[in-house]
Structure 1
Amino acid sequence: MKIAMIIPPFRYGADPSQWITVPPQGYGGIQWVAATLIDGLLETGCEVLLLGAPGSPPRSGLTVSTAIERDEIRTAIDSFGPAVVHDHSNLAALPLDGQWPVVSTHHLNGVPASLENGVYVSAAQRLKAGSETAPVIRLPVNPERCLFQEEKDDYLLFMGRVSAHKGAYEAAVFAHAANLPLKVAGPAWEPEYLDRMLADYPHTVDYIGEVGGHFRTELIAHAKAILVLSQTSGSPFGGRWAEPGATVVSEAAASGTPVIASNNGCLPEIVPSVGTILPSAPKITATTAKAAMDALPTAHEVLKAAVDQWGHLKIAQEYLTVYERAARGERWT
């Protein structure tokens, strides 16, 4: 099957000539999802046209387009002649002329621009979108893109946007209670928030900044646990934040790193097999931190759970089923 895949085009850093690639140079959840899904689709014999991420490394079966504007994207898709278009941009980059069957994966909170032929990455996300019957397909993980490490180092890890809705501050609180250092890796676009965390926990938090490549996989693989303590408040997007998919959960598990999470959004759906969920009400203390650490599964247990549930080939097959439905002219909301 031929699939045209559209990624929201975002600039990388201060250089106007560079775009966030697939896989991303650093922070980029959607780009990691696309890279891993493409892995699975190529292994099943599909051809993929990637749009919205110029500069991404091409490989056999994958064509990387330089198209960014809607008219350019339309021309590139016409030339490729796909069976289906898979949109990851919430229609932001998709030419809206109804010329091709479209499947849209929603990566955000709330109601998408269109409910038609939507795919959601968790039941919690689908509920917030107002859909009851659309497919739920989890975020994929490719163990070959991860580094499995059985023996862990004595640090905890927060990886993601350093923001209130992602729970970076709560991660610092937990690490302090657990008497373990916390490495914080990710962009800090709200400097006051970062400054408060560093001021309150100067001997706990080691802020590394945005990371990518081998350093990123090493950080994940060697952490004793990764903290995904998403909060309902503090979202810069407005409204209550419900974690939609949590890419880092599957990546950490495929590295043998267990997850300690809040019960926000999708996390109660995906974390119990690879880690532990913190109670929502109690204050984080040394006792609650120790109980959470003691309850964590082993590295081999979380790796097996990740591959069984979210392996890239399994997720690619689930998407192929949905692509075939769209290509036959089916419509759902």
Structure 2
Amino acid sequence: MVSSRIVPGWSEGLRVLMVAPPWYDVPPRGYGGIESMVAGLVAGLTRRGHDITLIGAGRAGTRARFLSTYGRAPSERIGEPLPEILHAARAYAMTSGLVVDVVHDHSLAGPLSAPARGAPTMITCHGEMEGEYGEYYRALGATVSMVAVSEAQRRIAPDLNWAGVVHNAVDATVFPFRERKEDWVLWLGRFNADKGAHLAIDAARAAGRRIVLAGKLTEKVERDYFDEYVRPRLGPDAEYVGEAGTTRKHELLAAARCLLFPIVWEEPFGMVMIEAMACGTPVVALSRGAVPEVVVDGITGFIRNDPAELPAAIEAADVLDPRACRVRVERFFGVEAMARAYEAIYRRTVAGPPRRAAESPPRSAGESRDLAMPVN
């Protein structure tokens, strides 16, 4: 069982146990938005003098002490339940006796161990909050403190045990800034209907622009969507180039006229938007989820309400200043700002009353507790 030491002073470094999902290395070699965020957070917290132990899968890729639950990340099994459960069980077993101040869990099953931990558990919610996911977080109740990655995400389920909102971040210095763009547009992500790759192709074609598509295509639901909606739309002006590794992804993001982000669900954040802007590439997106919190309409991209409005936005993208896109990321979505915000929430969580299942039973769905710490 993870145990907690005496509450440290504000200027004293914290001992943080960081639990990543099991699906990709940290940082990932290609796709892996959560893993990219975790890697950045570990780096930022380490620079701020905190002692980080990272649990993940695959190889060690950060300066943190690393404990691996899988010798090779089981990426090809993403979507199956057992790797996630086994990851959580191994993580709990291998941290027996570890002394930490707070556990920050980014996995799905890991928070089930929170009542047995001597240190408080905080979770970042990276996915959807409706349906069974929302009911899962309600069932965890006060055994965990929750952090949303956007105000849009928290608004969907305001009754949950929120400790604050912290936007995801990237280290802009690792992304190549390019002012002169090429005359094609980019869609990059996971091939799911909610991500709107088919809408991106239609919009680019209507604008008379070539589109390049790159992204994850491994799960059955992704292959089914691709075969029905994307493959029939491919042609000389719409090319799928596979799942891009880190170097290739950076090249694509830097060169594109704009990134298309025509999501049709309430996406809680969308890392690819800030990755594109870090490269000086504007974002043309539909106004769903956290898009209005990330993109400044008319400055770092264009936000539209209807897919029919996207072609005109694509045409207008070249009037936007690439430097403004980069500055937006540096000022509001940088790793240091994210690390500071999480540190503040860690300290509030550690200083608060102990949250044990026996002492603090889960709240009902109707109860509300708001401990918001807005950032940025």
TM class by smaller structure: 0.7 to 0.9
Paired residues of 2:27 and 2:39 also in contact (CA < 8 A): yes
Confirm or deny that 1:212 pairs with 2:232. Answer: no
Paired residues of 1:148 and 1:254 also in contact (CA < 8 A): yes
Structure richer in helix, relative to its length: 2
Question: What's the counterpart of residue 82 of structure 2?
Answer: none
Question: What's the counterpart of residue 72 of structure 1?
Answer: 90
In structure 2, distance between residues paired with 1:71 and 1:91: 9
1:1-333 paired onto structure 2 within 5 Å:
1-10=14-23, 20-59=24-63, 62-67=64-69, 69-92=87-110, 95-96=113-114, 97-110=116-129, 111=134, 113=137, 114=140, 116-131=144-159, 134-188=163-217, 189=219, 190-195=222-227, 196-232=229-265, 242-272=266-296, 274-280=300-306, 283-284=308-309, 286-287=311-312, 289-291=314-316, 293=317, 297-330=320-353
* Helix, strand or coil at the partner of 2:127: coil
Question: Given residue 145 of structure 1, which amino acid in structure 2 is its aligned partner?
Answer: V
Unaligned runs of 5+ in 1: 11-19, 233-241
TM-aligned CA deviation for residue 91 of structure 1: 4.0
* Helix, strand or coil at the partner of 1:214: helix
Relative to 1, partners in 2 of residues 1:259 and 1:4: Cα closer, same or farther, differing over 3 Å? same
In structure 2, distance between residues paired with 1:119 and 1:2: 19
TM-aligned CA deviation for residue 203 of structure 1: 2.5
Q: CA RMSD in A?
A: 2.2
Relative to 1, partners in 2 of residues 1:32 and 1:6: Cα closer, same or farther, differing over 3 Å? same
Aligned length: 310
* Helix, strand or coil at the partner of 2:204: helix
Paired residues of 1:261 and 1:276 also in contact (CA < 8 A): yes
Relative to 1, partners in 2 of residues 1:300 and 1:194: Cα closer, same or farther, differing over 3 Å? same
Relative to 1, partners in 2 of residues 1:150 and 1:72: Cα closer, same or farther, differing over 3 Å? same
Paired residues of 2:172 and 2:278 also in contact (CA < 8 A): yes
Relative to 1, partners in 2 of residues 1:178 and 1:49: Cα closer, same or farther, differing over 3 Å? same
* Helix, strand or coil at the partner of 1:160: strand
Relative to 1, partners in 2 of residues 1:24 and 1:93: Cα closer, same or farther, differing over 3 Å? farther
Paired residues of 2:169 and 2:338 also in contact (CA < 8 A): yes
Identity rate, percent:
31
In structure 2, distance between residues paired with 1:124 and 1:175: 28
Question: What's the counterpart of residue 77 of structure 2?
Answer: none
Relative to 1, partners in 2 of residues 1:176 and 1:3: Cα closer, same or farther, differing over 3 Å? same
Relative to 1, partners in 2 of residues 1:78 and 1:145: Cα closer, same or farther, differing over 3 Å? farther
TM-aligned CA deviation for residue 267 of structure 1: 0.7
